[in-house]
Amino acid sequence: MTSSNTVISVEDVSKRFVIRKEKSLKERVVNFGRSNRHKEDFWALRDVSFEVNAGTTIGLIGANGSGKSTLLKTIGGIIQPTSGVVRRRGRLAALLELGAGFHPDLTGRENVYLNAAILGLTRKETDAQFDSIVDFSGIEQFIDTQVKFYSSGMYVRLAFAVAIHVDPEVLLVDEVLAVGDEPFQRKCMDRIRAFQADGRTIVLVSHSLDTVGDICDRGIVLSHGVVQFDGDTPTALRILREGFEAEGPDGSPESLRALAQITDTALVNPSTGEKTKLIRSGDSLRFDITVETGRPIEEWVVGMGIDTPLGHAVFGTNTIRLGITAEPFTGTKTISFSLPNVQLGTGAYFIHASFGTLQGGEFHRIPQAATIEVQDSTNNVGQVSIDATVEAALTPRRAARSR
């Protein structure tokens, strides 16, 4: 550990898996002792290094197969790295796989004690927490049923309930929370926020970027086992989304823009005709999108929208919603969206641009085609500016009844 505040230290961690090409036991026997032609190495992680300070919440994000879950399991000690070292400090609880630490032939009650023991609780400590664990899980009716008859949601409920009751200093959470229903997800998020308020450390893997943006104060973007970015959450989400948008249906940028592409965008002050980045709440805007195609395009659709830095949609529209007749065209075409009286709250916003067709879907999107900074003269907070007023009337006190 490089400092007293560091609870997790990952130093040059790499993880290799051997992929065997034999399809049957017979092929393995025949090829036993031969060259490496029948197997290949797959590096899930490559030279990953970072540190986690106490009290922080970190989101590990990336596309499927980027190495997020492998890294989380390495941090949790479930798998050992091929090279490098992971150091941890403090009691750790992990929700890494659905039903991990559960035995299918044991009841929910028995698995509570088993899983709690794996996480470091004594029998006496589990006795003291048992009623609270079952109450949080919400499956009291099935606590004495074998867990092999549980649904995936019931697994997650019980596993999460046990994990949070071991009083961990570090909590590792994989995508398992996405299995629970909405009320249980809200309950879990409330508990995670309570952990944050207590100064606990959380490392989260999730494909829900809204969740990452909401609760994480740091984001690590993984791509093919390599750290692509490590820093503030808004920038991490932007980099990940740009990576998603850069890939076409077959994974290549060329296939995405083979039909047409957006060549220019401009955010304009309609009063002056000049490009702008700074407005006041209530100002009007014009957003120009220029599209170029080398062959005739029919039933085209051009869209735009306003998003927060975390990617939450504030406003969106397109030519179909606005009733524009999409006449076929070849060459270059500029579509202008007029936005009168933009009542946005104070802060920074991104404007995205998209182009596609009704039949082929979206071909090209620029997630951050323009940036605007909104200044609001009111004392409001939030993404919308409303001229609110308030009155406080004194309620007359009722006269006491005479007896």
Predicted local distance difference test score (pLDDT) of residue 181: 73
The percentage of the chain sitting over the pLDDT mark of 90, rounded to a whole number, equals: 41
pTM exceeding 0.85: no
Question: Average pLDDT in the 352-372 region?
Answer: 86
pLDDT at 32 over 70: no
Question: Does residue 258 sit in the same domain as residue 164?
Answer: no
CB-based contact 285:342 (threshold 8 Å): yes
What is the Cα–Cα distance from 206 to 212, expressed in whole angstroms? 7
Domain count, the chain: 2
CB-based contact 304:262 (threshold 8 Å): no
Question: Average pLDDT in the 322-331 region?
Answer: 87
Question: Does residue 128 sit in the same domain as residue 274?
Answer: no
Residue 6 forms part of a structural domain: no
Top pLDDT among 23 and 234 is at 234
Express each pLDDT in 292-306 by its tens digit.
987 888 889 999 999
Predicted local distance difference test score (pLDDT) of residue 254: 46
The number of residues in the chain equals 403
Question: Does residue 280 sit in the same domain as residue 334?
Answer: yes
Q: According to the 3-state scheme, what is the secondary structure of 58-91?
A: EEEECCCCCCHHHHHHHHHCCCCCCEEEEEECCC
Hey, CA dihedral for 106, 107, 113, 119, is it positive or negative?
positive
CA distances from 285 to 183, 322, 378 (A): 40, 16, 20
Helix (H) or strand (E) holding 7: strand 6-20
Q: Which of 373, 351, 374 is nearest to 281 (CA)?
A: 374
Of 4-13, 113-122, 341-350, the one with minimum mean pLDDT is: 113-122
Q: Which of 56, 48, 47, 45 is nearest to 7 (CA)?
A: 56
The percentage of the chain sitting over the pLDDT mark of 70, rounded to a whole number, equals: 86
Mean of all residue pLDDT scores within the chain: 84
Label residue 121 by pLDDT band (50, 70, 90).
confident
Predicted local distance difference test score (pLDDT) of residue 252: 41
Residue 390 forms part of a structural domain: no
Question: Does residue 260 sit in the same domain as residue 363?
Answer: yes
Question: Does residue 278 sit in the same domain as residue 365?
Answer: yes
Q: Quote the DSSP letter at residue 177.
A: G
Predicted local distance difference test score (pLDDT) of residue 253: 42
What is the Cα–Cα distance from 135 to 147, expressed in whole angstroms? 17
Q: How many beta carbons lie within 10 A of that of residue 54, not counting itself? A: 17
pLDDT at 33 over 60: no
Burial (CB count <10 Å: 0-12, 13-18, 19+), residue 154: buried
Predicted local distance difference test score (pLDDT) of residue 392: 87
Question: Does residue 230 sit in the same domain as residue 134?
Answer: yes
pLDDT at 94 over 70: yes
Predicted local distance difference test score (pLDDT) of residue 258: 57
Which residues constitute the domain of residue 363? 253-375
Q: Which of 135, 109, 137 is nearest to 123 (CA)?
A: 109
Question: Does residue 364 sit in the same domain as residue 343?
Answer: yes
Express each pLDDT in 262-278 by its tens digit.
999 999 999 999 999 99
Residues forming a β-bridge with 332 = 292
Top pLDDT among 141 and 358 is at 141
Label residue 92 by pLDDT band (50, 70, 90).
confident
